[in-house]
């Protein structure tokens, strides 16, 4: 049962990483916002979302949250797959989820303070919360 939950969580974090990469790619002018693989709800249509990258809420350790998020979420995907196959202890992806929820709360605060409604950011935060919740049953067994 946990195998399926962790693989579903891995799929979600992979999608979150892909969305984060898309955000970074649009911000960096690597590609255009109109990507067919990105759901229309998450497509960047204006500069409001990408403008947050240049604020104190848009960077960690001097790097864009989007590029850090891409690598973080892809690494989280690998840990979730490894945990589903019992190759990695299930505490490791759970600790990453706690970290992502904590950082996510700060980033959501930044979105609210800057009065920016970024659907892609909100989608990634919802994914992080879902992955966190998916992992709880295994911890309380």
HEC string of 92-106 equals HHHHHHHHHHHHHHH
Specify whether the CB–CB gap between 19 and 45 falls below 8 A.
no
Average pLDDT for 35-41:
73
pLDDT at 48: 62
Q: What is the pLDDT of residues 86-137, one digit of tens each?
A: 899 888 999 999 999 999 999 889 888 888 888 888 889 999 999 999 998 8
- Check the CA dihedral 9-15-17-19 and report its sign: negative
Full-model pTM: 0.86
What is the C-alpha to C-alpha distance for residues 26 and 121, in angstroms, rounded to an integer?
A: 13
**Tokens 């409001």 appear where?**
48
Instruction: Quote the mean pLDDT of the chain.
Output: 86
The percent of residues above 70 in pLDDT, for the chain, comes to 94
Specify whether the CB–CB gap between 135 and 3 falls below 8 A.
no
Of the pLDDT bands very low, low, confident and very high (cuts 50, 70, 90), residue 55 is confident
Q: What is the pLDDT of residues 24-36, one digit of tens each?
A: 888 887 887 777 7
Q: Is residue 9 pLDDT above 90, yes or no?
A: yes
What is the C-alpha to C-alpha distance for residues 32 and 17, in angstroms, rounded to an integer?
A: 18
Of the pLDDT bands very low, low, confident and very high (cuts 50, 70, 90), residue 3 is low
Sorted by sequence, the CB contacts under 8 Å of residue 98 that are 6+ apart come out as 132
Q: Which class is 2-25+46-139 in CATH?
A: mainly alpha
């Amino acid at each position: 049962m946990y195998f399926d939950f962790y693989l579903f969580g891995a799929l979600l974090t992979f999608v979150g990483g892909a969305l984060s990469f898309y955000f970074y790619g649009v911000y960096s002018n690597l590609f255009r916002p109109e990507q067919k693989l990105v759901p229309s709800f998450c497509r960047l249509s204006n500069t409001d979302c990408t403008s947050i990258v240049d604020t104190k809420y848009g960077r960690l350790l001097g790097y864009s949250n989007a590029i850090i998020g891409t690598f973080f979420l892809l690494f989280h995907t690998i840990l979730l797959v490894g945990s589903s196959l019992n190759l990695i202890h299930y505490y490791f992806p759970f600790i990453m989820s706690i970290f992502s929820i904590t950082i996510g709360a700060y980033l959501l605060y930044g979105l609210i303070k800057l009065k920016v409604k970024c659907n892609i950011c909100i989608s990634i935060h919802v994914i992080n919360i879902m992955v966190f919740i998916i992992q709880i049953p295994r911890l309380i067994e």
